[in-house]
């Protein structure tokens, strides 16, 4: 999504007012239906992708982003699409990925060529892919509402897959994670388990709408979900067992604004001692019900395990660690940006592209420790320009300006460097791109040396 080209003036005003914002956490494309996964020391965020200017749900692929500090997110490209599944024709809707026995299983719903919405499973040896269809056919098809799968592996090793709208169903997964045992079970949607609807035009038995998110914390099983009707809010229910009976608890997030996204989708994780709720809104320029953007906010469980009412913010969350500038950092590691795009080359390299004069990338809480003296950048260009390095703000102290000359083409890569003013301590850093008109260069990675 090139927001600059869609709504140039709106974007400039939005960016100027939002350089201190953190939400939405991805600005290069429209993202929806967040599914965070903590694996080892990293958060892997799997999202849907709303195509530009969509007036219906036009979604063709899924994307992956990673972070180790919760504020800078690295674009890992699109490791899975509808085209991966020979049986599917459209609708890359909300899914979830989980790790087991050294492999990664991504459960995703799509419209089957003949039988309608069905849930497939893709597998990979790594969390960022590439993923392939594990079965060559749907894992499950039980009705027209087979969407929004959520997966969880219990402490005894039993895995569960829940899904559905207007119903909520589940199966017990086999250890291979690509088949299930027994029958598809339908969860009773009643007042006790899932409250009542505040809009009853469609005569549903409870407030449950879609987008379940299932996990266990201490001795409680949690089911977060989008509740309604439409526009949706977020709510949750709990149980003392993985299959219920469920007890309705409360609303976790109210409807987000008028004229914004009429859907929502929760994703909940604990990471480095903190708890986070991922969701989506319509806050980016051009945003709406079919052009959504993923956000995250921190919360704290109450002593009894209940979840408080969470207010969506533009400020987002605080970092859980600082970024190390003395190792290679991908240029597509971004806290905030204006104007740029990311692209994945044939060799699976993701890089920053469509860089124009005045565009910028913000990287939060960079720890320069006792000081850095040299800046390096891996770039390619058919014209040229400069990477200005500012501390603290777009107009903050200029550490240096790294010149990018014509490298012989936009896929002809080289590493350039420049001396910079010695800077100590922790700072937000801005790469501000300068040059003549048009696309200036591509930007792959950067690093400071002491």
User: CA-to-CA distance for 118 and 106, rounded, in angstroms?
Assistant: 14
Please tell me whether the peptide bond between 31 and the residue prior to it is cis, using omega within 30 degrees of 0.
no
Virtual torsion, Cα 89, 90, 92, 97, nearest 10 deg: -10
Query: Given this model, what pLDDT does residue 444 score?
Result: 97
Whole-structure pTM value: 0.95
The contacts of residue 100 (CB under 8 Å, 6+ apart) are: 153, 159, 177
Q: Is 12 helix (H, G, I), strand (E, B) or coil?
A: helix
**How is residue 89 annotated by DSSP?**
E
User: CA-to-CA distance for 163 and 208, rounded, in angstroms?
Assistant: 12
Query: Given this model, what pLDDT does residue 346 score?
Result: 72
Give the residue from 352, 375, 347, 341 showing the smallest Cα distance to 448. Answer: 375
User: CA-to-CA distance for 117 and 50, rounded, in angstroms?
Assistant: 18
Query: Given this model, what pLDDT does residue 450 score?
Result: 85
**Model confidence over 113-130: pLDDT tens digits?**
999 999 999 999 999 999
Query: Given this model, what pLDDT does residue 446 score?
Result: 98
Expressed in percent and rounded to 5, the helix, strand and coil fractions of the chain are 5, 45, 50
Return phi, psi of residue 365, to 5°: 45, 65
Please tell me whether the peptide bond between 24 and the residue prior to it is cis, using omega within 30 degrees of 0.
yes
Say if residues 332 and 342 touch (Cβ distance below 8 Å). yes
pLDDT tens digits, the chain, 450 residues: what are they?
554 444 443 444 445 445 578 999 999 999 999 999 999 999 999 999 999 999 999 999 999 999 999 999 999 999 999 999 999 999 999 999 999 999 999 999 999 999 999 999 999 999 999 999 999 999 999 999 999 999 999 999 999 999 999 999 999 999 999 999 999 999 999 999 999 987 666 788 999 999 999 999 999 999 999 999 899 999 999 999 999 999 999 999 999 876 579 999 999 999 999 999 999 999 999 999 999 999 999 999 999 999 999 999 999 999 999 999 999 999 999 999 999 999 988 776 899 999 999 999 999 999 999 989 999 999 999 999 999 999 999 999 999 999 999 999 999 999 999 999 998 999 999 999 999 989 999 999 999 998
Query: Given this model, what pLDDT does residue 21 score?
Result: 82
The contacts of residue 430 (CB under 8 Å, 6+ apart) are: 360, 361, 362, 363, 388, 389, 390, 391, 393, 394, 396
Environment class of residue 135 by beta-carbon count within 10 Å: exposed (0-12), middle (13-18) or buried (19+)? Answer: middle
């Amino acid at each position: 999504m090139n927001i600059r080209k869609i709504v140039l003036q709106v974007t400039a005003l939005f960016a100027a007012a939002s350089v201190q914002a953190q939400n939405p956490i991805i600005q290069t494309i429209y993202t929806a239906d967040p599914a965070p996964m903590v694996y080892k020391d990293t958060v892997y965020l799997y999202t849907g992708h709303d195509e530009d200017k969509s007036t219906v749900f036009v979604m063709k692929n899924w994307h992956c982003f990673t972070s180790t500090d919760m504020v800078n997110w690295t674009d890992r490209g699109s490791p899975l699409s509808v085209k991966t599944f020979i049986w599917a024709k459209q609708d890359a809707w909300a899914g979830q990925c989980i790790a087991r026995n050294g492999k990664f299983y991504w459960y995703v719903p799509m419209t089957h060529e003949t039988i309608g919405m069905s849930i497939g499973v893709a597998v990979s040896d790594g969390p960022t892919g590439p993923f392939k269809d594990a079965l060559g056919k749907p894992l499950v098809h039980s009705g027209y509402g087979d969407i929004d799968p959520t997966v969880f592996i219990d402490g005894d090793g039993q895995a569960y897959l829940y899904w559905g709208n207007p119903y909520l169903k589940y199966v017990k997964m086999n250890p291979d994670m690509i088949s299930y045992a027994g029958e598809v079970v339908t969860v009773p949607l009643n007042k006790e388990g899932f409250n009542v609807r505040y809009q009853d035009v469609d005569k549903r038995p409870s407030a449950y709408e879609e987008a379940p998110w299932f996990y266990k914390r201490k001795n409680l099983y949690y089911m977060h979900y989008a509740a309604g009707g439409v526009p949706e809010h977020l709510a949750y229910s709990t149980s003392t067992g993985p299959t219920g009976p469920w007890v309705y608890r409360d609303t976790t997030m109210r409807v987000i604004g008028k004229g914004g996204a009429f859907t929502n989708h929760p994703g909940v994780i604990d990471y480095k001692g903190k708890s986070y709720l991922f969701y989506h809104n319509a806050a980016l320029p051009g945003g709406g019900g079919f052009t959504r953007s993923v956000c995250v906010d921190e919360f704290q469980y109450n002593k009894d395990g209940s979840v408080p009412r969470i207010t969506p913010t533009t400020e987002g969350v605080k970092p859980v660690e600082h970024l190390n500038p003395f190792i290679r950092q991908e240029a597509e590691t971004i806290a905030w940006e204006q104007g740029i795009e990311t692209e994945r080359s044939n060799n699976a390299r993701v890089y920053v592209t469509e860089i124009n004069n005045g565009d910028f990338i913000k990287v939060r809480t960079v720890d320069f420790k006792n000081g850095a003296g040299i800046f390096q950048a891996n770039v390619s260009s058919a014209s040229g320009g400069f990477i200005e390095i500012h501390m603290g703000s777009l107009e903050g102290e200029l550490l240096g300006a790294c010149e990018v000359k014509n490298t012989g083409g936009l896929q002809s890569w080289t590493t350039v460097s420049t001396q910079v003013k010695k800077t100590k301590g922790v700072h937000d850093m801005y790469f501000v791109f300068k040059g003549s008109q048009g696309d200036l260069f591509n930007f792959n990675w950067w690093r400071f040396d002491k």
